[in-house]
Amino acid sequence: MNRIEMLRNEALNNDICYDEFFYGFYKFLGETNDLPSFEEYGNAFYHALSNITPSISNGELIVGKCNRKIADSETEWHNTYSKLARDMFKKAGGGQDSHMAIDYELLLEYGINGIINKIDAFLAECDESKKPFYKSCKRCLEGVMVFSENYSLRAKKMAEEENDPQRKNELEKISEICKKVPAYPAESFYEAVQSVHFVTLCISMNPFRFGCAQQFQLGHPDRYLMPFYEKDLSLGAITKDEAQDLLDCLGIQINNRVPNGLSSGYMVGGRYENDRVVANDLTKMLMQVVDDIRLVYPAVGLCYTEDMGDEYVEKACEILSRGCSHPAIFGDDTITKGLIDYGVDVSEARNYIHSTCVEITPVGASNVWVASPYTNMALLLLEILDREYETFESLLEKLFESLDEKIRNNYNTRSDLRRHRVENSMNPLLSCFVNDCLKKGTDIEKGGAKYNWILPSFVGVANLVDSLIAIKEIVFDSKELTIAEFKRILDVDFENNEAFRVRLLNKLPKYGNDIDEVDSYFEMITSHIVGECKKHSGFLPNSQLIPSVFCWVMHERFGKETGATPDGRKAGFPLGDGSGPCQGREMKGPTASILSSTKWDHHELIGGVAVNMKFSKKTLGENSISTMKNLVKTYIKRGGFEIQINVTDKETLEDAVKHPDRHRDLVVRIGGYSDYFVKLSCEMQQEVMLRTEHGI
């Protein structure tokens, strides 16, 4: 069994556990429920990180993971300190974190010692009130260096005991690298990759988020790793195959850092600040990781621009055609335009990240709360069907009135949560890698980041569009039913009205079939959402309300709590899975679907737009890659934000339902993220299977 196959199999059975860190942190603080001071936090963090047991698996080249469970016999943890960790999580408050990428260029150029030197310079000039924050930052960074040194010592000891010469050399190399990085600037490709992973793992250990998985992204590695790659190639210090192995190992370690069901990865492509296209060896190699390891992570986004050249989008389509659920393909120019319109300068607008699924935030400068919160658009409609309306326009007026109230209330709730977090939380280590926390002397949790947006997401817009079309036809145009009569049919989930339901589904026009009148409703709704969100801005710097129309898994959760809807959807069935048509309603093929999905403006929906497409593996032929590529290019050229493609077949999915053990690594695209098919709920599995399967 080769190295990557061995490590991927281990990752499939991984057991991510950060309890050892939490135990060390809270035991150091002692039995108290009080919020620690910056000094107490820094010392406890240093202690916890310094005492984590290093874990290195056979064959690993990139090391660093947390998988040591606390034994049942250690009652002190189970009876006392785990409760303190949970209590502190509650005290720190709700909201979000880790939907971001840190400043990896800073890390690789200066190393931790260089960042500490920067902090010392700030300390020498700051007022007394900021000194506790800076000192805590230093102490946390020192803990990271000890953590790395412990890995160096562990690798050295393993090398001394290793009989296989090749593995002995590998362990000795690991020991040397861990002794150097991330403490000092990286000088080689190997050092850079290891440094990136170490620091990402360490910032994933947030003592105030016990039980809340962290899912930091890795930014744009084909930019910040490229100088190291080119240098090592020119010196003969590395081969392309060796570099690919390191990237594959990095990809596997994401699966050892982030539990499945979330989303973590990186982006490639796009443009540099000077408008030059990012398209190089690493752009392709970082996409190739998906095909090599075939795990749920990394979640890779290709930032596509027309100047890039076809070979990169062809590479993405080739990988997708083999049944992988990544890369997702993002419209770079559309997203950059949106960021600039929201006040982001060009350099940062060219350097963004899909914070987990499709939510866009500037790299190294963000504390953005994504999909915060979700709004059930179908339920919003049902709630106003409690009366008759003289005209269809008056119904729309009431719908938007209710929507505006929902946006306002959600904004107020999130603002209250943020105020609570400002007062009851801190994250000094993360603050070291997010601009402008160190410059301001302000922790990221207290407003130190440049961008503190809130990105609410609106789920089920396609259901709402199709439902409005149905109400207009049945109630206002043909006057076949009153609102009350229609609602009585919905309230009993179409009982004794199946023929009527089938008519609603199959005879009335639907979004996704290139019908201008229908598609214009999506434009009307999203334009209203964008305009309403612009009215709200939070109390932190740059804390605008910026919307999105994607769903993660919320289309299933909302579907369960939503009764039958006027579009013919049965009660409890998932809502539409993104910004494209609802499941099974694309009757005119993929091109018509793409045309419908790009008739409305995407660029101000920086919170994320996700359009899913599903193609049949059975119909793949010699021209399929070219056809897929052209569909993607059409979508992007028309202003598309993001498109994600599943290439599978019904038989495989059905067999996976019956025999899950045979398909443990079958990954499918959901509503902005990917997950293992066999780990999905029965309802979600059925939802994926019912999506329209196009021939190509």
Quickly list DSSP for 153-164: HHHHHHHHH--S
81 domain residue, yes or no: yes
pLDDT at 491: 98
pLDDT at 252: 98
Same domain, yes or no: 556 and 425: yes
Q: d(Cα 405, Cα 394) in Å, to the nearest integer?
A: 17
The average pLDDT across 631-640 equals 96
Same domain, yes or no: 489 and 605: yes
The average pLDDT across 480-507 equals 97
Same domain, yes or no: 467 and 525: yes
663 or 576: whose pLDDT is higher?
A: 576
Q: pLDDT tier at 691 (50, 70, 90 boundaries)? A: low
8 domain residue, yes or no: no
- Taking only the tens place, the pLDDT of each residue in 297-320 is 999 999 999 999 999 999 999 999
400 domain residue, yes or no: yes
- On the question of a cis peptide bond just before residue 298, with omega within 30 degrees of 0, the verdict is yes
325: tokens are: 């659920």
362 domain residue, yes or no: no
Same domain, yes or no: 315 and 412: no
Q: pLDDT tier at 695 (50, 70, 90 boundaries)? A: low
The average pLDDT across 357-361 equals 95
In the predicted model, is pLDDT for residue 696 greater than 80? Answer: no
Q: How many domains does the chain have?
A: 3
312: tokens are: 């990169």
What is the percent of the chain with per-residue pLDDT over 90, rounded to a whole number? Answer: 86
Last residue of a domain, one of 164, 190, 212: 212
CB 677 within 8 A of CB 653: yes
In the predicted model, is pLDDT for residue 494 greater than 70? Answer: yes
Same domain, yes or no: 604 and 621: no
Q: d(Cα 171, Cα 153) in Å, to the nearest integer?
A: 10
Return the ∠ at Cα 510 (arms to 569 and 589), rounded to 5°: 110
Domain of residue 316 covers 225-357+613-632+642-696
7 domain residue, yes or no: no
**Most confident residue range from 3-17, 578-592, 605-619:** 3-17
220 domain residue, yes or no: no
CB 384 within 8 A of CB 399: yes
637 domain residue, yes or no: no
- Taking only the tens place, the pLDDT of each residue in 70-86 is 998 999 999 999 999 99
Residue 499 CA: distances (Å) to CA of 471, 486, 503, 504:
17, 14, 6, 9
CB 435 within 8 A of CB 365: yes
Same domain, yes or no: 656 and 545: no
Same domain, yes or no: 593 and 621: no
State the pTM of this model: 0.95
99 domain residue, yes or no: yes
Same domain, yes or no: 407 and 460: yes
The average pLDDT across 221-234 equals 98
Q: Which of 207, 175, 181, 206 is nearest to 194 (CA)?
A: 181
H/E segment holding residue 676? strand 674-676
CB 368 within 8 A of CB 361: yes
388 or 646: whose pLDDT is higher?
A: 388
Per 3-state DSSP, what percentage of the chain is helix, strand, and coil (rounded to 5)?
55, 10, 35
Q: d(Cα 160, Cα 142) in Å, to the nearest integer?
A: 27
H/E segment holding residue 304? strand 299-304
Same domain, yes or no: 379 and 301: no
Mean pLDDT (the chain) is 94
Last residue of a domain, one of 161, 178, 212: 212
pLDDT at 687: 74
Same domain, yes or no: 259 and 398: no
Same domain, yes or no: 508 and 549: yes
Last residue of a domain, one of 182, 212, 242: 212
- On the question of a cis peptide bond just before residue 341, with omega within 30 degrees of 0, the verdict is no
Same domain, yes or no: 122 and 23: yes
The average pLDDT across 284-291 equals 98
Q: Which of 570, 571, 572, 591 is nearest to 580 (CA)?
A: 591
